[in-house]
Every structure is written in C-alpha cells, then in structure tokens.
Structure 1
Amino acid sequence: MSAAAVPVTRLFSGPTLRLFRNMGWIGLSEIMGRASRLVTAVALARIFSPEDFGIVASALTMHELIRVFGSMGLGVMIIQARPDELTEVCTVANRLNWLAATALFVMQSLLAFPISLIAGEPRLALMIAALAVVHLIFPWSMVAVFLVQRENRMKVTGLIGGLTLLTENLLTAALALGGFGIWSVVWPRFVSTITWVVLHRRARPWRPSPDCGWHGWRRVLAHGGQVLGTEVLKTLRVTLDKPLIGALFGMDVLGMYYFAFSAGLGISQSLLSALSTVLLPHLRDGRDNGGQFHAHAKATLRSVGLIVPPLILTQALLCPLYVPLIFGEAWTPAVPVVLVLCLSAIPRPFADVCSQIQRALGRPGADLVWNAVLTASLAIAMVLGARWGLIGAAWAVLAIHLIASPLFVVWTFKHAALRHR
C-alpha cells in the first residue's frame, strides 16, 4: 500500500465507514425520491403555469412552516436518552406530540382563509385546510421513527423514506396528467404519510407505558424547546425566501423561483437531509467513546467535506445541460438562478456537521443562536439582493453561506468540541 493510500484507509474505516454506509441508505431514499420527483417535475413543468407553481408553493410553504412545530425537538431527546429513562422519555414525548399535532391542525385550519385573502387566490384556502389534516397522521408513528434512528437502523429509515417518496411523487405525476390540476400535489401527501406511518409501526412496534405519568415533562420541554427553536429557524430559512419573492415580485416570478429551487437547491438539499439524519446517532457514539469526541468530530467533518461538496459542485456544473433537456426550453431563463442556488449548498454540509456536534454535546442553545443569526442574515441579504432581480437574491444566498459556514466551523471546534478531547 502506498503512503498516500494510508490516510484514505484510515479516513474511511471504523465509525466513519459506518457513517457513510448509513448515509448511503438514506441517500438511496433520497435518490428514489429525487428520481421519481424528476418524473413529477417534468409532468408539472409541462402542465402547470408559473401561476400554478406559485399557488402550490404558497400552500406547501405554509404547511411546512406550521409542521415544524410538531417535532418540538422530541426526537433528539429519544435518540440521546439513557437506557434507564428511555421508556419514560418516549411516553412523555408521545403525549406532548399529540397535543402539538392537534394544536397545529387547528392553527393551520384557522389560517387558511386569511392567507388566501392576503394572496388574492381563493383556491389556496381549501388546499391549506386539507393539508392541515396531515398533522393528525404523523403522531401515530413518531416514537417508532426516532427509536429506529436511535438504534442506527438507517437501512429501515432509508427504505421506508424512499418508498413513501416514490409513492407520493409518482401519484402526483399521474394525477397531474389525469387533469386534477393543483390538487394533484395535495392528495398524494395523504397516501404517502399513511404509508410512512404504517411501515414505521411495523418496523418498530411501540406502545406507551401506562405506568408512566407526566414525570419529566418539564425537562423534555426545556431541552426540546431549544431544539424546536432551531428547527423553526431552519424551516424559516428554507421557506422564507418563497414568501419574500412572492411579496416582492408576484406569483409568476415566485413560480419561476420555486422551479429553480426545486430543480437546483432541492436536489442538493436531499443530500444534506440524508447527512443530517445520520449525523446525530453517529456523533452520539463518539461522545460516549472515552473522551475521543474531538477526534471523532474532526474526522467526521473532514470525511463529509471530501465527499459531499464535490457531488453538489458536479450538479451545479451540469444544471445548464439538464434543465432545458429535462424540463423543456421554456425554463431555460431559470438556469442562472438554478446554478447559483446549487453553489450556495456547497458550504452547508460543514455547518450541518457543527450543528449536530452542538446537539451531541447537549448544547442546543449554541445551535439555536447560530441558526438565528444565519436566518436573519439571509432574510436581510435576500431583500437587498432582490433589487437586482431573482439572480441578485440567489447571489445574496450564496454570499451569506460562504461567509457564515466557515465562521461557525471555527467557533465550534475552538469553543465546543475542543473541550471534549
């Protein structure tokens, strides 16, 4: 073996190899979802007008903004719980999740009509109200989902996720081609969510313990509240650009931006989502490994940096070819925006690793502060960049991530992980 090959062997051995094997299973899910979403995107791009895309973007954005409150950071508590407290944490988390789901259903239902009035689009009200019912389906398997992740059974997570995404996307394309219009995006969400719940309940049967009261709920909420704040900010960051673009430019331009986001950054975010899913269980193992956390975290960051950004860069360089070829010449004007949004995903994996490091160390507050600063910076930058149109807003997103991600990495390893050598 050559001297140059030794570091590579060390880099991808042991825990790091397990990380990428787990990421491979989640990545398979994302590939299944992305491949089927490509079929859906082609169908929708040839049937929907930019205005239709704008309506769909508004309904789904509102649903995702409200849905994020349902997690309450409870999954992190289940994954990190000690064996002796797991039953109690799961039972309390399950009860709190049901309370949250009911509240979210009521909230989204009440907001549906006012939002449609503000947008000047009556069809929005029924779409948003219908999607509110989805909140009442997820809690049936919430605990099972996080128990599977706690046990590092990412093969199960990946296969179930891939199957449900495949179902939703292909059904959406079929309904769109069948003439169901914008509702072809709504009904498949019910089918895929019910499938997701049933499969997770079969993969990891779990029932709440009748002997557990509400003991420990304050601690669960105290820790989960900070994680919830972080998840809210992340969701705002992913979705805030769309209402901003809609308010600044109107539904037609929002439709163009939503297409650019889906065809560009949406693909990269699938890869980032796979990474985030496997990182916390991986880093938790390193935290419990006899004071070797700093080396474990550093190796994780280095390995992710060698694999993920080159894949995103490859996609960015190919977007001028695949956008007109796959989606049609009508979407060629969106290519520059697609390209810049792809490039903005390159520094994000480094920040994602550091966010999970903070959580693994039991410091969700630091992750919350980072996400608050980043979200505010992106919102301000997008408003300023929008003076030069969509491309200006996209460049603003890229600039903020290029500046902020390296700063977060430096801060994390100097002030957090370094203390856990």
Structure 2
Amino acid sequence: MSGLYERHRAVSPDWLTLYYRQPLELTHGEGRHVWDVDGNRYLDFFGGILTTMTAHALPEVTKAVSEQAGRIIHSSTLYLNRPMVELAERIAHLSGIPDARVFFTTSGTEANDTALLLATAYSGSNQILAMRNSYHGRSFSAVSVTGNRAWSPTSLSPLQTMYVHGGVRSRGPYAELSDERFVQACVADLEDLLGHTRGAAALIAEPVQGVGGFTAPPDGLYAAFREVLARHGVLWISDEVQTGWGRTGEHFWGWQAHAENGPPDILTFAKGIGNGMSIGGVVARADVMNCLDANSISTFGGSPVTMAAGLANLTYLLEHDLQGNARRVGGLLVERLRAVGAASAAVREVRGRGLMIGIELARPGTDEADPEAAAAVLEAARAGGLLIGKGGGHDTSVLRIAPPLSLTVAEAEEGAEILSEALRAAG
C-alpha cells in the first residue's frame, strides 16, 4: 500500500483528501461489506459517501450494466435514449413537482451548477440565498454557495451569495429557542435579508446538511421559508443529493418534511440513484427548465449504461421497500447510538433520521469541537472492522453514519458495538 500511496501523492493534488493515517485501498464489496487489498473485511457504514445506496455488487444493477454495455455504451443526448427517457419518467413522477422536466448530469456538483444556471437565467438575477454550514459541490459556482469554510476554497464567485440561518438546530444564536420560536426567528432573518436584496434568484438548501454533519432544522422550516420566498418571487432549490431516495426513512425526499407549501421549484439529485455509477440530475417545473434560450447538450449525462443502472437500482429500492427499512433499522440504530453516546463524555449530540446519522464530538464538558477525537474514532472504527465518515461545520468533528439502505438489524447492532468500542479506545 505504501508504494501506491507514494504514487498517488506524486500525481494527485495535495488537497485531494484521503482517510486514515495509512490510506485504504478497497478491492471489492458485497452487500454491506467491503474488502481491502490485504484481505481485511469491513462493515461499510459510509457507502462511498452515501452513494452505494442499495448494496455493493447488487446483482440486479451489475446485470443491467453488463447487458447495456454489451449493446451500446455511449451515444450522447443528441440521440433518443430509451433508458434515459424511462428513468426520467419515473423520477419526474416521484419528484412531486408538477409538469416536471428532468435533465441528467454526471454528478451532484454538476446538478447544482445546472440548478443555479436555471434559477439565475429564469429570474435575471445572480443573487443567491444559501444556508450557513451548507455544501453543494466543488465547481466554481457550487463552492460560491457553500456556507462551510472547510469546503469553500475561494471567495471569488460568479454569484452574489447571502447566507440564511436555520440549517443547524443546536448551535448558533437561536439554539436555545424552542422549535417554534427557532422557525420564527429564522423566517424573520430571511425576511430581513430579502429586504436588503434587489431580487434574489433562489434559495438553495439541503433538507439535511450532509458534509455539514447531518444537521437539520425543525420540520416545517423550509415550508415557512417557501411562503416567504413565493411572496418575493424567489425560487426554492432543494439539494437532495444526500437526502433523496428514502434515506431519511420518513420521506422519499428530504423536502417532504417541509411540504406544507408544496414541492420545491427545482430539485437536484445524485449519489445513491446510480449505486456507484455517475448519475446526477435536475428536476424542475417546465417553465423553469425551459427558460434557457441557447443550445445545450450533455456528452455523458444520461449515458445508456448509467441510466440502465439507475433504473435497476430504483426498481430494487422500491420493490424491496428500502425506505421502510431505513426507517425501521435506522430508528433502532440511532437509539442504540444515543445509548452509546450517553456513556461517552466526548459525545455532544447524536442526531439523524433513517440511515443518515451524525455523532458530534466535543471536548468533555464544553461545546468546543474536537476534530482530533473524530479522527481518532475514525481510525479505531477501522481497526475494529467498520468504515464511517466524518464532517461538520466546526472543524470536522462529526462522525457520519450512512450505510446502504439494505442494512440488517444484526449489522446495525454490530456497527454500533464497534463504534462503542472505538469511542472508548479513542477516549
């Protein structure tokens, strides 16, 4: 491994992050497990950053990919593409957006970039509202609406971005308020902010902030925001790259926890739908999607192979009620992890929904983030045979738990026990 690591360092940017003091080379996976080059087996609680949604080496997906690759791998959007149309039809229906149109990209970054293009073109404004602690990708426009300093490497931007309160419930100036008063305060902040703009194009928001540490507002916040935005003629973009496809258990999309005032104007998706294949996309009302007055194509968005994978993966997800499994098994897992957290002075908060769970670490007796402890737990979990992620808006002090949605109760118990031991070992 050291030889591959040195080769990696010689040809890769310094800022290309690798986990672990001794970086890990994964060679294959099956179900909820992966193996490294040395033959070690790990329970996977991160799924390639919430991307292996159903299972590793899911036979239905690998079969669909193989069969499509044997027919034709590539054509571009200049030709009719049956798998692309079929997947677009299903996603348009599932999105909840009336008269929906779907455009496929190759990543969540590109999907959010496209959503920003649509919103600014539709409104004639380059002003964007975004949430503090947010993350929307690594393109020039996406980092410019990312409210998390650790993931926004430049202040230069094609957009004028203003940040709104509300994405983080348990930190910040409104943390001590009740849920009702928290929502009222955030709405008042949004109203005040809009009073200082010349007409914002859109608010982009993750219903649950992913890279930010799986933080979320009280249910209904974005419904209350939606009412204000509609009054001001501002679009709502729901970034569902991490929350979509039933991961939160309670809902198929994250926006549905805030559905009182209807669906978003634009929805972006990626990650889990391809189960590892490169699929992203945008869903929008027809008038928004069709507002561009120049030609556009996608060379790789909607590739026949990735669309075949997405169709097979979505079919498996729905037929096996993996959203329901995320709700049931995720509910058991979060309660088990809360019991683990209650026994550790390093754990500030355990939060999450379904199979999207964050464990925030802080220096004992304080609210001060403890990224060193998070790094130590990450290493200890690996040593115990468990892969997890980390993130957070306060120096990467949140452990991110997001296994494939087919996780079993026994695997949830096993992972919780390894995490319990890792917290003890790291403490």
| Bigger fraction of residues in helix | 1
Q: Assess same fold via TM > 0.5.
A: no
Q: TM-score, normalised by structure 2?
A: 0.29
